[in-house]
Structure 1
Amino acid sequence: MRPKLTQQQLAEAACVALGTIRKIERGERGVSDSTLDAIADALGVDPARLRTDRDVAQTRVHDALPALSAAIAAYDLPEDGPVRVRHELREAVQEATQWRLAAQYTQIARELPGLLTELLRAYHVAVPDERAKAAGLLVRACRSADAVAYKFGARDLSARLIDVMRWATPEAEDPLLSASVAYVRTETFFAARAYLSGLRALHQALNAAPAPVTAPEIAARGSLHMRAAVIASRARDASTAVSHLSEAREFGDRVTEGVYCGIAFGPESVRTHEVSVAVSLGDEHVGRALEIADEWKPPKDLPAERRSGFYIELARAQLWSGLPDDAFESLKVARHIAPQHTREHPWVRQDAATLRRLKRADSESLTNFAEWCAAI
């Protein structure tokens, strides 16, 4: 949260009238969702923190899931309607990607149903020369919608969105986009705990990926290795996980940290995945996560979703290592970075419940946190 903003400064930052800010603070008027989001953005916090009802943000996202489902139900037969020019659609898709990387899921839930419907129209009415670009935009928008579906537990909807992505990707004629979709598809294998099948799918994607010459091509291949390391570690295949992690590290050292085809990749992202692999392997590997955290922290320019994930993984390693105080601090850091991502993460709920049982002496703050993430 930005410190010590005056009412005037907050009004200017949020583009809300000063009188409105004063009335809201005095409780003299309600606040619309759009105004709440503007104020939350200005303060740098999740809108849920400004509500007395802790379930509001979660409810808003869950309420939007049927609309996302409806948007892709007739993906091959969209209804007639308006379609913006391509550069406006491209800007809307880019904005949705930024929301995903920043873990701003309420924004995605509100805007993506209409955008997906419009992009499907654009794809079906596109002339042949424009079809590939329309397909690419559709795939990228589905990726952002999938982030909400997957993280909020709508796994069937997530799988359907991925199917639409796989349906449209060949039309995009972009091998880098195909690699990106293979990366995202791994979610279905995580959800089903079909780790070996997921690993085979990633190996197939690696074989089909373009030669790693340019930075985006290097990042595509490195991202697939990064993902393969994690799913191999979930299968408790340490040697395969370490091998893929080594490949990812090699590719990561060849590019600048950045977002390539919608995926954050580079040496910093690989480092966060070292922690993920160590925690997934468990047992004697957990200490490696603590070693990494002792010497390195994810930089602030890394996407919020990835940074919060690092601290969520670290908290689990600390808890397993008998460091409950450190684990709770890591969970609070994750919450500060990306509240919505942290709140919806199943490991956060499990670990918060465990911490509350272990540390009754500090029951008030732990209970508040556990209630916030629905652990109790």
Structure 2
Amino acid sequence: MPATSTSPLGLRLETARAAARLSRRQLHELSGVSPSMIQKIGNGERRPSDQVLAALAGVLGTTSEELLGGPGRTDSRVHQAIPDLQQAIASYDLPEDGPVRPLSQIAVEVAAAVEDRVQSQYVRLSEQMPALLAELFRAVDRSCGREREEAARLLALAVRSADAVAYKYGYRDLSGRLVELMRWAAGIAADPALDAAAAYVRMEVFFAAGQLGPGLRSLRGALDRMPAPRTERLAAAAAALHMRAAVTAGRMRRGDDARAHLREAERLARRVQERLYDGTAVGPDSLEIHRLSVAVELGEENDLHEAVATAARWAPPRDLAAERRSHYYIDLSRAQVQLGRPQHAADSLLVARQIAPQHVREHGQVRTSLATMVRLTRGRDERMLALARWAKAV
């Protein structure tokens, strides 16, 4: 398995050096920075001065800021639409006057937004969500009884689609606000399956903050609050929570807990057909995809070999949502990187990109994997280097 530095700066420096195909000696000769200093920075033993960092960045064709904080964001139109989304949710409980269509008409647009989300059409989502959310805030504000509950249900699903944009494109504070809005709307809808969906999405906040322990407790608390899964929708909601808990426990290197949650997810997934339930894909195929995710998170070599071998016999069906399918190949590439197979990992990422390019390009784990792959191949694989540059991993 590839060796790693404990320093993010050291990893970025080594990635940029590999991409430039320079040895440490060549970097020293071109930058004037001593070989011992370059080695200490790469190993995470020293933090360079501004002058040293600027000298290294200049030779490597990057900037001091990118070495310190990582490559800049992509140039997607999503970033241009974020201010409108922020403005749309600022006064969610005090909406401006405006038209509200019948809920049956709004529901069609919400369903289209959910489909855009699971098919990773983030640009279109970002441009359409502000107006849809504003209308749904008005619908919740003006209605009562069962109609208000239905408006809130639609709002929760729409907010989840907006959150996918914010989370994937790195707007963590905005994502956190949207998650809380989804929980607020789910509470008004008084729907336990929707509450479970909100708890599933809330895990993003814990992932972003690195708070895995509280996140796992949150998922288990949501499972404890759920009624008995007597309907297909409730069984799917519980299965989704168990799948996410399994991945979380795996990331914490708690193998027994991860496998226990996978077993519960399997028991429940057998009872449902593979489809979207409140915006989450659940079913036997989604369960197989989560098995791979858990193996990658646990990082145990035997499990990784078994997962990669399984991938040679099984692939996600083409009718599965693009985001879910592409995530499978992203995780497969992570497994292959951990096993020291960068060329196979690149093959997997190219498949993922073909399925859902917007999803792959903005995925943090893709950038991490690509940076590792560039270091493993010392920047000599042109196909891999092009992929890394496309994803802003270098």
Structure 1 and Structure 2 fold alike (TM over 0.5): yes
Quote the offset at 1:357 in angstroms: 3.1
Quote the offset at 1:362 in angstroms: 5.1
Q: Which runs of 5+ in 1 are unaligned?
A: 1-54
Contact 2:249 2:258 in 1 (8 A): yes
Quote the offset at 1:270 in angstroms: 0.6
Contact 1:83 1:122 in 2 (8 A): yes
Q: Does 1:113 align with 2:107?
A: no
Quote the offset at 1:283 in angstroms: 3.1
Aligned counterpart, 2:115: 98
Contact 1:275 1:288 in 2 (8 A): no
Deviations 1:241-269, CA, capped at 9 Å, x for gaps: 00000111111122211111111000110
Aligned counterpart, 2:244: 227
Quote the offset at 1:295 in angstroms: 2.3
Aligned counterpart, 1:313: 331
Aligned counterpart, 2:211: 194
Structure with larger Rg: 2
Contact 1:252 1:266 in 2 (8 A): yes
**Aligned equivalents of 2:81 and 2:286: distance in 1?**
31
Q: Does 1:291 align with 2:309?
A: yes
Residue type at the aligned position of 1:79: E
Quote the offset at 1:214 in angstroms: 1.9
Contact 2:74 2:392 in 1 (8 A): no
Q: Does 1:272 align with 2:289?
A: yes
Q: Does 1:341 align with 2:341?
A: no
Change (3 A) 1:172 1:363: same
SS at structure 2 position matched to 1:295? coil
Residue type at the aligned position of 2:331: E
Q: Mapping of 1:321-340 within 5 angstroms? A: 321-340=339-358
Change (3 A) 1:113 1:361: closer
Aligned counterpart, 2:17: none
Contact 1:176 1:210 in 2 (8 A): no
Contact 2:159 2:178 in 1 (8 A): yes
Q: Aligned residues, how many?
A: 322
Quote the offset at 1:220 in angstroms: 0.9
Q: Which runs of 5+ in 2 are unaligned?
A: 1-71
Deviations 1:289-312, CA, capped at 9 Å, x for gaps: 213212211111111101100101
Contact 2:374 2:384 in 1 (8 A): yes
| Equivalent residue in structure 2 for 1:64, among 81, 89, 93 | 81
TM-score (normalizing by structure 1):
0.83
Aligned counterpart, 2:69: none
Residue type at the aligned position of 1:291: A
Aligned counterpart, 1:212: 229
Deviations 1:3-29, CA, capped at 9 Å, x for gaps: xxxxxxxxxxxxxxxxxxxxxxxxxxx
| Equivalent residue in structure 1 for 2:373, among 346, 355, 358 | 355
Q: Mapping of 1:231-270 within 5 angstroms? A: 231-270=248-287
Deviations 1:22-61, CA, capped at 9 Å, x for gaps: xxxxxxxxxxxxxxxxxxxxxxxxxxxxxxxxx9984310
**Aligned equivalents of 1:219 and 1:155: distance in 2?**
27
Aligned counterpart, 1:41: none
Quote the offset at 1:213 in angstroms: 1.8
**Aligned equivalents of 1:303 and 1:111: distance in 2?**
20
Aligned counterpart, 1:18: none
Residue type at the aligned position of 1:60: R
Quote the offset at 1:96 in angstroms: 0.2
Residue type at the aligned position of 1:95: A
Q: RMSD in angstroms over aligned alpha carbons? A: 1.6
Q: Percent identity of the aligned residues?
A: 50
Deviations 1:223-243, CA, capped at 9 Å, x for gaps: 111111011111111110000
Aligned counterpart, 1:157: 174
Quote the offset at 1:360 in angstroms: 5.1
Aligned counterpart, 2:44: none
